[in-house]
Amino acid sequence: MKRYILLINNLFLVVFIAAIIFSSCTSDNDQWKKVTKDSVQTKPGHKRPPVYKIPSPIELYLFLKENNIRFDKNLLGNPDNVSKYETTKNKGLNFGIYASDLAYCTVFSRSQETFLYFKSSKTLADGLGLAEGFDDIISKRLNNNMNNTDSLYEITNDAYAAACQYLESEDKSDILSYILVGSWIESMHLSMNSVTKFKAENPVVVRIAEQQLILENLNASLDNIDKKDTDFSEMKTKMKNLQTIFDKLYENTDALITKKQFDEIFSKIKELRKEVIG
Q: Of 77 and 158, which is predicted with more confidence?
A: 77
pLDDT at 43 over 80: no
Q: Of 46 and 170, which is predicted with more confidence?
A: 170
Averaged confidence pLDDT in the chain: 77
Distance CA 202, CA 225 (A): 36
Amino acid, res. 22: F
Percent of the chain residues topping a pLDDT of 90: 49
Q: Of 241 and 57, which is predicted with more confidence?
A: 241
Q: Which of 100, 134, 55, 126 is nearest to 269 (CA)?
A: 100
Q: Of 224 and 212, which is predicted with more confidence?
A: 212
pLDDT at 217 over 60: yes
Over residues 67-71, the mean pLDDT reads: 96
Instruction: Please give the pLDDT value at position 57.
Output: 80
Over residues 162-174, the mean pLDDT reads: 72
Q: Are 240 and 213 in contact, with CB atoms under 8 Å apart? A: no
The model's pLDDT over 233-244, given as tens digits with 9 standing for 90+, comes to 999 999 999 999
Q: Exposure pattern of 231-269 as b/e (b: 16+ CB <10 Å)?
A: bbeebbebbeebeebbeebeeeeeeebbeebbeebbebb
CA gyration radius, the chain: 18
Q: Which of 65, 52, 43, 80 is nearest to 224 (CA)?
A: 52
Q: Are 143 and 156 in contact, with CB atoms under 8 Å apart? A: no
Instruction: Please give the pLDDT value at position 174.
Output: 83
pLDDT at 12 over 90: no
Instruction: Please give the pLDDT value at position 252.
Output: 94
Q: Whole-prediction pTM value?
A: 0.78
- Phi/psi for 224 (5° steps) reads -90, 5
The end-to-end CA distance of the chain, in Å, is: 38
E strand or H helix that includes residue 259: helix 259-277
Give the CB-side neighbour count of residue 33, counting CA atoms within 13 A: 8
Q: Are 53 and 100 in contact, with CB atoms under 8 Å apart? A: no
How sure is the predictor about 229, in pLDDT bands with cuts at 50, 70 and 90? confident
Neighbours of 198 (CB within 10 A): 14
- Phi/psi for 41 (5° steps) reads -80, 130
Q: Are strands 52-55 and 46-47 parallel, antiparallel or unpaired?
A: unpaired
How sure is the predictor about 67, in pLDDT bands with cuts at 50, 70 and 90? very high
How far from 39 is each of 119, 162, 216, CA to CA, in Å?
34, 21, 18
Neighbours of 70 (CB within 10 A): 8
Distance CA 219, CA 153 (A): 28
Instruction: Please give the pLDDT value at position 94.
Output: 96
